[in-house]
Amino acid sequence: MKKVKSLIKRLIGRPNGGSSPITVDICTKTPNGYCIIGWYLTDAVASISLKDNNMVTLDTIHTDIERADVVAQIKKPALGFQLLCTTTLSIEELRLAVGLRTGSENLLALTLTNSGISVVGNPSGYDSAYPIVSSSSKLQAACEYAIAVESHIIIYGWLVDDTALIEGKLFDRRKNVVGEIEEQTRFARTDVREALGKNVKLTSGFIVLLKRSDNKNYKDGDLNFHINIDGNEVPLPIAEVFSADDDGMMCLKRLLNVWKPHTPAQLAKAPMFLPIISGLYPADRATSVRRIDFGNAVNLPKASIIIPLYGRFDFLRYQMSHFNRYDAYQNVEIIYVVDDPNIATATQALAKRMAQMTQQPFSLLLLSDNMGFGKANNIGVTYAKSDYLVLMNSDVLPQNGEWLDKMLAIASSDDAGIVGARLLFEDHTIQHDGMAPMTLAEYPGLFFNDHPRKGWPKGLVKVTNPVAPCDLLTAACWVMKKSLFEQAEGFDPAYVLGDFEDSDLCFKLLAFGKTNYIRRDVEFYHLERQSQNLVSAGGWKHNLTILNAVTFNQRWNNELQALDKELHANG
């Protein structure tokens, strides 16, 4: 029995006969600094910190952890602790500063050790690694990060267990329950298996969505996820907590990068991400707008052209050169919505140069935040003075100046909803000739937008009537009444960062009893998605498209089914 007790004491870090009020079990290097884990006697230790050789206290994240195993063995009040420190100093330059309740301070040298700990990769792909952190020697797990919005918190981590579902609750520093599990999913973590051995199940990763019971702003180290394992509650500190106040796009990457919706089981979990996305990009999110006018504004324009700019701003040069070339734009209002604060200064400089070179008046709307395609257009429309709108991408280039009157002639009719045009690649093959619903085998049950005849030489597409009804049209170039756009409440902000907001608005106008038209005798060049090429690609962006598709299908499933059946019946 004595041998067993001695072994247990060594496992929990207490040396035989030792009298130190603090024990360091683990001291390991992280990508940005160090992680130190151990336990201390609460009646002896008042504070724990890190200092350098000059006795300067370093910034750390201190998390206390319940250590029932320690208390049971030493029969004294004790707590586990974790210190996370970001520093470039070597371990030899650091000291663990232990403030005692007697008023004195002990300085302890530290030595790196990997005993009892492994380091695994972070599934988000945006921070390199996190240590395994657990208050129980029986549990191997980590809560790597969480994203908190007003209504929910979502946690990412991994757990070595044999269960399919996790039972647990979220606690704050004061041990108040602040979150209850609403939904969850498990996913593959090859890094965990590689670190801990082939006997660990592949699907050790977890994503847990919790409904919040408070609205506090939490920081790193403020939260613990208590997992119920075999009737025992084990607290796991959450290493990092992100919120809607952080970079929205980076949070989207963290949110969606590990989700694999190509399997039916994971696709069914799509709704669990929507509350977080709504919190990161709320529908009522506002931004400040600064307007700069170049030239004498048109008082009663026959049309207002709204063009969002994101990432690339050089297309303004080519479009403004075109608008200045033709008399058709003399009575037209042109508004560029700069939806990217990073290009605001450079866009202003280019606009000033273009204003000196051209006679065509135009305006810039400088947004203080990136709002996304739909909201940028919505903001632009609020500044439009004409009764008719032209919504145009910055990478759409007209072939001549005749298109506007042709499209306005159709848009002005009582039954007209949206009027679109034929879009061509630079080699005169078709990019857009109307859209249609399509299904993909990888995502059963979902309709996506197809561009029939895309890539065909336009000479192979027979046109019997240059003006024809067309239910679905891309928003790369639209003409419509401003009153209809406002009646439909513009583009729905539920579609974050683009995709499906155009077809959603098409269905809204059809529901109003209007007819959408395409003019195939009006052609533009479209450098497809060149205006968006600085939105970084990756799994997260594809997954966001899938989530937008889920929202779109939930709203318009009956209409999509009917349109798909009609188009197949007509060949």
Shared domain check, 325 and 219: no
**Residue 133 located in a structural domain:** no
Which of 240, 269, 298 is the last residue in one of the domains?
A: 269
Q: Are residues 242 and 348 in the same domain?
A: no
Whether residue 100 sits in one domain with residue 144: no
* Total-model pTM: 0.76
User: Do 293 and 336 sit in the same domain of this protein?
Assistant: yes
| 424 and 470 part of one domain | yes
Report if residue 471 sits inside a domain: yes
pLDDT single digits (tens) 466-520: 999 999 999 999 999 999 999 999 999 999 887 899 999 999 999 999 999 999 9
CATH of the domain at 62: 2.60.40
Q: Are residues 361 and 490 in the same domain?
A: yes
pLDDT at 115 over 50: no
Higher pLDDT residue, 57 or 26? 57
Length reported for the chain: 571
Q: What is the pLDDT of residues 506-557, one digit of tens each?
A: 999 999 999 999 999 999 999 875 545 445 556 899 999 999 999 999 999 9
Q: What is the pLDDT of residue 96?
A: 94
Angle, helices 539-569/501-511, rounded to nearest 10 degrees: 40
Residue 29's pLDDT band, with cuts at 50, 70 and 90, is confident
Residue 267 to residue 514: CA distance in whole angstroms: 34
From residue 168, give the alpha-carbon distance in Å to each of 25, 192, 216, 511, 548. 26, 21, 20, 45, 30
With beta carbons less than 8 A apart as the criterion, state whether 497 and 535 touch: yes
Domain count, the chain: 3
- My answer on whether 224 and 313 are in the same domain is no
The angle formed by the CA atoms of residues 428, 433 and 438, to the nearest 5 degrees, is 125
Name the phi and psi angles at 223, rounded to 5. Answer: -120, 145
Confidence check: pLDDT of 249 > 90: no
The CA distance from 353 to 453, in Å, is 40
Identity of the highest mean pLDDT range in 11-25, 114-128, 297-311 = 297-311
CB 371 within 8 A of CB 305: no
Give me the pLDDT at residue 498, please.
75
CA distance 320 to 322: 5
> Directed axis angle between helix 315-325 and helix 344-357, to 10°?
20
Q: How far apart are the C-alpha atoms of 13 and 33, rounded to whole Å?
A: 23
Which of 483, 475, 269 has its CA nearest to residue 372? 475
Domain presence at residue 333: yes
Q: What does the block give as tokens for 89? A: 């100093």
| Residue 115, in any domain of the structure | no
- Is 496 in the same domain as 369? yes
DSSP, res 163: -
Mean of pLDDT over the chain: 88
| Range name among 50-54, 218-222, 266-270, 536-540 with the lowest pLDDT average | 536-540
For 156, phi then psi, to 5°, come to: -120, 135
Locate 383 and state its tokens.
């500044």
Say what angle helices 539-569 and 248-256 make with each other, to 10 degrees. 80
The answer, yes or no, to whether residue 7 has pLDDT greater than 60, is no
Whether 494 maps to a domain, the answer reads yes
Coil, helix or strand for 231? coil
pLDDT of residue 123: 56
Rounded CA gap, 499 and 12, in Å? Answer: 54
How far apart, in whole angstroms, are the C-alpha atoms of residue 172 and residue 178?
Answer: 7
Domain identity same for 350 and 453: yes
Neighbours of 510 (CB within 10 A): 18
Pair 440, 428: CB distance under 8 Å = no
Query: Which residues are CB-neighbours of 526 under 8 A, at least 6 positions away?
Result: 393, 395, 396, 397, 423, 424, 425, 431, 432, 476, 477
Q: Given this model, what pLDDT does residue 364 score?
A: 98
- 510 and 398 share one domain: yes
Counting residues of the chain whose pLDDT is more than 70, the rounded percentage is 90
Q: What is the mean pLDDT of residues 424-442?
A: 93
Q: Who has greater pLDDT, 174 or 363?
A: 363
Strand 33-41 vs strand 78-86: parallel, antiparallel, or unpaired?
antiparallel
DSSP 310: B
- Are 212 and 179 in contact, with CB atoms under 8 Å apart? yes
Residue 126 falls inside a structural domain: no
Q: Is residue 116 part of a domain?
A: no
Q: Hunting for tokens 């952890």 — which residue is that? A: 65
Average pLDDT for 404-420: 97
Domain limits for position 65: 22-109
Nearest-angstrom CA–CA distance, 269 and 447? 17
Q: Which one of 109, 124, 152 terminates a domain?
A: 109
CA distance to 286, 360, 441, 472, 522, per residue, from 478 (Å):
25, 21, 31, 11, 12
Kindly report the CATH number assigned to the domain that includes residue 346.
3.90.550.10
Instruction: Summarize the confidence of residues 198-202 as an average pLDDT.
Output: 81
**Ordered DSSP codes for 101-161:** TTS-EEEEE---B-TT--EEE-TTSSS-EEE---S-TT--EEEEEEEE-SSEEEEEEEE--
| CA proximity to 170, closest of 211, 109, 112 | 211
Residues 524, 484, single domain; the answer is yes
Longest Cα–Cα distance of the chain, Å, equals 98
